[in-house]
Structure 1
Amino acid sequence: MRRLRHTAVLLWLLFVLVAAVITARTHYVADLSAFLPRNPSAEQAVLLDQLQSGVASRLVLIGLEGGDAEQRARASLELGRALRASGAFDAVHNGDNSAFADTGQFLFAHRYLLSPGVDAQRFTAEGLREAIDETTSLLGTPAGSLVKPILLRDPTGETLRMAEHMLPAQAPRSEGGVWVSRDGARAVLLATTHADGGDLDGQEQALALVRARFAQQADAPALTLLVSGAGSFAVASRAQIKTEVEKLAMAGGVIVVGLLLLSFGGSLRTLFTALLPVSTGVLAGIAAVSLAFGNVHGITLGFGTTLIGEAVDYAIYYLIQARGAPHTGAGARRWLQVGWPTVRLGLWTSLCGFAALLFSGFPGLAQLGLFSVAGLAGAALTTRLVLTAVAPDGAPGLGLRRHLGRGVAVAMRWLQRLRWPLAALAVAAAVALAWLPSPWRGDLAALSPVGEDKLQLDASLRGDLGASDPGVVVAVAAADEAGVLQAAEAAGARLDRLVAAGQLAGYASPARILPSPALQQARRDALPDTGELRRRLEQATQDGPIASPRLAPFVEEVERARGQPLLTRAALDGTPLAAAFDALMVPGGGERPWRGMLTLSQGSQPLDTAALRAAFADMPQVQVVDIAGELRGMYARYLHEAGVQAAFGALALCLVLLVHLRSWARLWRIAQAVGAASLIVIATLALAGVELGILHLVGLLLTVAIGSNYALFFDQLRAEQDAHRGPGPMPVDEDLLASLALANVTAATSFFLLALSSIPTLSALGQVVAPGIVLCLLLSAAFIPTRAAARVQ
């Protein structure tokens, strides 16, 4: 036996070492894409792409406030140049066009492939006459200064056509050569990080670079830097979750340590022993999730702090219940015979509840399930194999346990007398839940700890930049890039009609930056040869403002364009067009198709989503994605799926209990106590107006997991009394009652701290579990009464 114990301890040490290494190397994330479906629909796939790698996830919104207008403009120009030179950003826009001279030359050189005005009709004699007249009519307007230098090379005005085609529907206000807010009180910049939205380390480095480059400027002391965007939210959320988890773990640890020291007479050895299952469980949970998913979500990590609540219970049960004669090991042997079967059954019931989450179609929920299963199993096995080896006689000394046990014994008799009023309270809670509107609502955003002040700043900066969140996105899909561009052109033709009808202010499309190869070929084919073009020009310029011989440069430009190769994505490298194009294109890979995004500007009129969907009803390769609607729908599906899985978990739990107990009456008493506690907590939260979401449901699972252990121990007391054949009533096991009370206090304290958290997900868990497990203990004492309570010794 001694050799087996040593082997168990050595294997445990090896496991802890490996798990600690995995934990140290684990990548922690905080983006909400983990709570999106693993097998999404076409619309959900579009949203998932945008959250993980789309332009919306990579935008950094920057504001510069304070100082005077000249200082803000100078700082904006310097910051823009510094960020462009850093290589950490694909694009930086602030109204400074000095860096786009090469881009202008590129566009001018390829205007006949890129301009939407080029077609066969454009280069007929009549088409040329109309185009030349239209261009020369601009000479007397503010645009004349742009037209005049290139008039003889571009008399048809293709350069202006391209500019009009590529300009955003809503451009920021410009002042002093930089973009400014609507009231002119701050300079604004818009940057796109090179790192994907899901790469939080890359996002954090990019944001740190923004702050560092700003701090290096001479005008920085007089100005205030404002930064927002999806990456900023994700990085801040990760930092907040990490800080909050550390604070909660520290506060909870201090309180639990204090309670354990009081209960075990100040024994540091016993304290260290009691914490072994906790630390093992947390390491096992993180390692299992990291190996299975490749990362650990911050919410899962926060959930890990709740494992203290149940994992420390196992140690408390053993250390108190295994008290025996010193150096005999009799306490461990007795506990393995009497206490371990009950703890093992409680473990199985807990695993049944959380194992159901493993089959979730949402990776975030599956992470919570795997963390719980691995963590609880690790904590329970550590108690069974390690604690029985290192502390075979349980915990020495009595501390406050004797008084705690006696107090619980007295309270148990009073609670049994209140059994019917408590049952009536549970029935009233069930009636209230049936009568009230369903409290199960909320949305995916409720999982984010981003504060209202940050959301308001983000909305303000987006309004200044004309980059308001797109409520609806039109997405096109195809097998390759050329197919996506053709689909985007077809979808753009439908959107043009809505723009003409005033239902849309405009839209951005990848095909406006780089037309499809087929369209480029058609435009090139529309260009006449030199002889034919000269003949048509002679007809077009008769009695016109420009004589045809003066347009010889134009003829040479067209002939050169006839021999130009078609443009591809590679041709855009080195220009800001590459970043703009990539922002609207998601490359395919494997079974995932290529996708192009057409972002809409709805203008002053509300967008008619039904009319938009009707416009694309006959185009299956086009999806109209209502982002807010999809998020609500996914959260509803998420919550429904979690509810179904929790129901199956509860059914499995009941079956496990029934197989083990072999008594419907015993099963009913246990289910009655745990179920009544859950009903009362949920009804109280509903009456308080709390919107219940997915983490409240997970909290219920945790309440059942912990509370069922209390019920099982009270059922054990009842079974022992029923089996007692000695004279008089069987004495109450005060050590067992003390262990239940101490376990309940430590767990409830941990979850009460969570309820005070500023992170909604952790707060939701605490709101449910803290009162839930206290009620489970009280109602277990009331609903599983002993037949004849012995007098407390």
Structure 2
Amino acid sequence: MALCAVVIARTPFVADLSAFLPASADARQQVLIDQVRSGAPARTLMMGITGGDAAQRAAASKALAAALRNSGLFEQVSNGENDAWADIGRWVFERRYTLSPAITPERFQADGLREAIDETLSLLGTPAGALVKPILERDPTGETRRIAEALIPAGAPRTQDGVWIGRSEPRAVLMASTRAPGADLDAMQRAIDRIRADFAPLAAQGLALQLTGAPVFAVDSRAGIEREVHLLAAAGTVLMSALLLVAFASLAALGTALLPVASGVAAGIAAVGLVFGNVHGVTLGFGSTLIGEAVDYAIYYLIQARGHGGHGDGWRHWLRENWPTVRLGLLTSVCGFAALLFSGFPGLQQLGVFSIAGLLAAVATTRWLMPVLMPDGARGLGLRRQLGRGARRLFGWLPRTRAIWLALGIFAVVAMVARGGIWGTELASLSPINPALLALDASLRADLGADDGGALVAVQAADAEAVLQRAEAVGTRLDRLVDANVLAGYSSVARFLPSLATQQQRRAALPAPDALKQALDAASVDSPLPAARLQPFADAVEQARQQADDTPAQAAAGALAPLVNALLLQGPDGRWTALMPLTPADPAKGVDANRVRAALAGLDGVEMIDIGVELKRVYQRYLGEAQAQALIGAGVVIGLIALSLRSPRRFVAVCQPLLLAVLLTMGACAAIGVPLGILHLIGLLLVVAVGSNYALFFDLLREQPQPDDDTLASLALANLTLVLSFALLAFSAIPALSAMGRVVAPGALLALLLSAAFAPRPADRSA
């Protein structure tokens, strides 16, 4: 235990959803998993400022944005102020002749120049004239305007008083991306605390802050899981202690009974920490459920070892009569959970390691430590005598109800068949995020015009140059879909960082000074903008001809860092990925995936990803794998029971209650319309593991003409503690934990009642 304490002290605890994502995935799923773990969505925070009047909100937006930019914690803070984009604007303006898709040799001939200059001059009398006039002599062909139009996202935020404002309610809106990766929850917590601290002076003016985004979800989830785990552990310990005190009327017995629980939880956490390097909060929450099963072993020993002379020999009687059954029950539980070790999902693997290590430690404590501390079991009687008598009456009556249980089992199967799909298909079923926070996130996302993650195109290649060339080819085809109103737009890193080949091609299209002068002279005949005023334009073209190529490394080290880091990624294997988020023409209908895939057909290294569909595929794979492993685990348990009993009649008597308990639990969920998920499945596996202990004890009792009250009391008390501990779990605010509680509590109770109902009758025993 001292070694376990050392390991636990050095083990970090995590709460991000990535532990429940596959460790290995196909290309499309891997893109999503990388984004969940460390991509731009995992680093983006959205803010709303409400209260006051429009001028107050605008001033507050500017003050908060300035404070956050100076903090050094954020890569980018956007609130609609043009100054925030000044560096990117300079990048675009200085490289306009390598960024503009209109750059061709024909554009710099007399006719091309005349047409471009006339188009630019026609804007001077429009609202855009204020932006065109200052750069007219340096960019008469309007390349900067053309690039800027392409970079403006579809559905950009509304602007008032120089800042972004909401569409759905009066508020100023901001967006910030952290420098730290989204998986670093401590860094996310610091960023969130900094935002709230910087907003505190503004709150004194009557303004309120709305804050959401993936970092908020992750930090709140971690805090919620930690809070729930502590609450459940405390409540479970108090409840179990109260029950054991009532049962044993002895503080010494209570302390001894809690030892297997403590050793099991400690060993489970330490084992997971050693194997995985961290412990997920859901795994730790699952550990609180181990209280219910680990205390069973203590109850069996403390009750079954007493009443055999009282001279320190009770433990020998327990070892001879009851230990083989406990040992077999342990083996069935371990074999059941061992199937989880082969999962492709780290979260399931952690649950498997925790369960096996915890149960082994709990049983080892019961087997080797408790005989030393209490050789004759618990001395106090408490209410165990009454419990034993009540259990005798109940267990004696239950065999008369066999037909009823069989009929209910048939009805359960009918209910599941009638319901159709009883398994849920949403990965969000594992999420503890508050629905109100999700609604706020959707509202701010709509105000900001932020990509809702509906669909994107992932372009992959072995090196950066190849991936940029492929992104350009994809962009050409997506432009046709935009023209056809299939898409409202898309984002592409190639718009502000073209491939080297494209940069060189556009640079080669720029004319030499003498050729440009001749073309300008011809193009400016009868033009209100004479060629003599366009010398700055000629100088800029010559400067662009001499300009060095821009590389991803250069771009990521400068003003474009937020954009490049969000849309151009290099994986651990060295391969590059360009992400191209798509904006649907009709947000209500989403992106037409079939039209997009048809348009991109034939392009190498290109995948169109419908995020909702892919997440469903991840969950379905997760569920299918867990179902297969649960069946394998159950099969191993059944095989172990068959090998140990070596009697078809005894085998049926032991396995029949387990099968019915699982069927009735699943049938009840189907009848009330509760879709089953991953953690429900783990709960059913636990029902089989625990139920096998009850069924094996009733099989042991077949050899006794009159089963003693102590054994019956131990079974009833063990079941009561387990059911109550999981009933507590059922009220957890964390869906993953409440799902287990709602399955295991009724399932374990049914397993005991059914084991008693199908136990051999006296006539069967005499036969």
Q: Give the TM-score normalised by structure 2.
A: 0.96
**Aligned mate of 1:588, from 571, 578, 588:** 571
Of 319, 335, 338, 1:336 maps to: 319
Secondary structure of the equivalent of 1:222? coil
Aligned residues of 1:480 and 1:588 also touching (Cα < 8 A): no
Pair 1:220–1:570, CA change in 2 (3 A): farther
Quick one: which of 50, 56, 59 aligns to 1:74? 59
Q: Which amino acid aligns with 2:117?
A: I
Aligned to 2:8: 23
**Distance in structure 2 (CA, Å) of the matches to 1:411 and 1:788:** 18
Aligned counterpart, 2:723: 748
Match of 1:764 among 713, 736, 739: 739
Question: How big is each residue's C-alpha offset from its partner over 1:140-184, in whole Å with a ceiling of 9 and x where there is no partner?
Answer: 111212222221111111211221122112210011111110156
The residue identity in structure 2 corresponding to 1:206 is A
Task: Name stretches of at least 5 consecutive residues in structure 2 with no aligned partner.
Answer: none
Write the letter of the residue equivalent to 1:627: I
Encode CA deviations 1:659-711: one digit per residue, 9 max, x unaligned.
11111111111111111111111111111111111111111001111111111
In 2: Cα distance, 1:207 partner to 1:517 partner: 39
Q: Report the more deviating stretch, 113-122 or 342-351.
A: 113-122
The aligned counterpart of 2:593 is: 609
- 1:671 aligned onto 2:646: no
Q: 1:573 to 1:47 in 2, by over 3 A?
A: closer
Give the stretch that moved more between structures: 435-444 or 606-615: 435-444
Q: Secondary structure at the match of 2:487?
A: coil
C-alpha separation between the residues in 1 aligned to 2:524 and 2:623?
70
Q: Distance in 2 between matches of 1:144 and 1:24?
A: 65
Distance across 1 between alignment mates of 2:84 and 2:77? 10
**Offset from partner CA, 1:359-394 (integer Å, 9 cap, x none):** 112222222222211211221122122222333222
Aligned partners of 2:653 and 2:760 also within 8 Å: no
CA distance in 2 between partners of 1:466 and 1:42 (Å) = 28
The 5 Å alignment of 1:20-169 reads 20-169=5-154
Tell me the residue number matched to 1:425: 408
Conserved 8 A contact 2:556-2:565: no
Give the superposition deviation at 1:324.
5.0
Structure 2: how far apart are the matches of 1:31 and 1:187?
30
- Counterpart residue number, 2:693: 709
CA distance in 2, matches of 1:630, 1:81: 38
Partner Cα separation in structure 2 for residue 105 and residue 692 of structure 1:
55
Matched with 1:598 is: 580
C-alpha separation in 2, matches of 1:518 and 1:389: 79
Structure 1: distance between partners of 2:698 and 2:400: 16
**Aligned-partner Cα distance in 1 for 2:586–2:391:** 67
1:784 aligns with 2:759: yes
Indicate the SS of the match to 1:189: strand
Change in Cα spacing, 1:660 to 1:221, as seen in structure 2 (3 Å) is: farther
Please tell me whether residue 253 in structure 1 is matched to residue 228 in structure 2. Answer: no
Are residues 1:559 and 2:542 paired?
Answer: yes
1:572 to 555, 564, 571: 555
Report what 2:198 is aligned to: 213
Code of the residue aligned with 1:680 in structure 2: it is L
Deviation at 1:34, TM superposition (A): 2.0
SS of structure 1 residue aligned to 2:75: strand
Shift of 1:308: 0.9
Name the count of aligned residue pairs.
763
Would the aligned equivalents of 1:569 and 1:578 in 2 still touch at CA under 8 Å? no
**Partner letter of residue 748 of structure 1?**
V
Q: Identify unmatched segments of 5+ residues in structure 1.
A: 1-15, 722-729
CA contact (8 A) 1:324 1:330 kept: no
Report whether the alignment pairs 1:491 with 2:466: no
Matching of residues 381-460 of structure 1 within 5 Å: 381-460=364-443
The residue type equivalent to 2:84 in the other structure is A
Task: State the 1:326 CA deviation.
Answer: 8.2
Superposed displacement of residue 634, structure 1: 1.8
Deviation at 1:786, TM superposition (A): 4.2
Aligned partners of 1:444 and 1:632 also within 8 Å? yes
- Amino acid aligned to 1:362: F
The residue identity in structure 2 corresponding to 1:340 is: W
Map residues 597-746 of structure 1 onto 2, 5 A cutoff: 597-604=579-586, 606=589, 607-718=591-702, 720-721=703-704, 730-746=705-721
Paired with 2:754 and 2:205, the residues of 1 have a C-alpha distance of 62
Q: 2:8 & 2:185 partners in 1: Cα distance? A: 18
Structure 1 residue 77: Cα displacement: 0.5
**Residue of structure 1 equivalent to 2:361:** 378
Which whole-Å CA distance do the structure 1 matches of 2:175 and 2:559 have between them? Answer: 13
Work out the CA distance in 2 between the residues paired with 1:294 and 1:118: 54
CA contact (8 A) 1:284 1:374 kept: yes
Q: Distance in 1 between matches of 2:188 and 2:691?
A: 42
Match of 2:526 among 543, 551, 569: 543
Q: Match of 1:190, SS?
A: strand
Aligned to 1:724: none
Q: Which residues in structure 2 correspond to 1:304-319 (within 5 Å)?
A: 304-319=287-302
- The CA deviation at 1:574 is 6.5
- Normalising to structure 1: TM-score of the pair? 0.93
- Aligned partner of residue 457 in structure 2, secondary structure: strand
Quick one: which amino acid aligns to residue 394 of structure 1? G
Give the superposition deviation at 1:416: 1.8
Q: For 2:720 and 2:559, how far apart are their aligned partners in 1?
A: 61
Alignment deviations for residues 23-67 of structure 1 (CA, whole Å, 9 cap, x no partner): 233222222222222211111111111111111111111011111
- Give secondary structure in 1 for the equivalent of 2:123: helix
CA contact (8 A) 1:274 1:316 kept: yes
Larger mean Cα displacement after TM superposition, 595-604 or 538-547:
538-547
Deviations 1:65-101 (A, max 9, x none): 1111111111110110111111111111101122333
Whichever residue aligns with residue 225 of structure 1, its letter is: L
Please identify, of 190-199 and 494-503, the stretch whose mean Cα deviation from structure 2 is larger: 190-199
The equivalent residue for 1:229 is 213
Instruction: Kindly indicate whether the alpha-carbon contact (under 8 Å) linking 2:464 and 2:552 is maintained by their aligned counterparts in 1.
Output: no
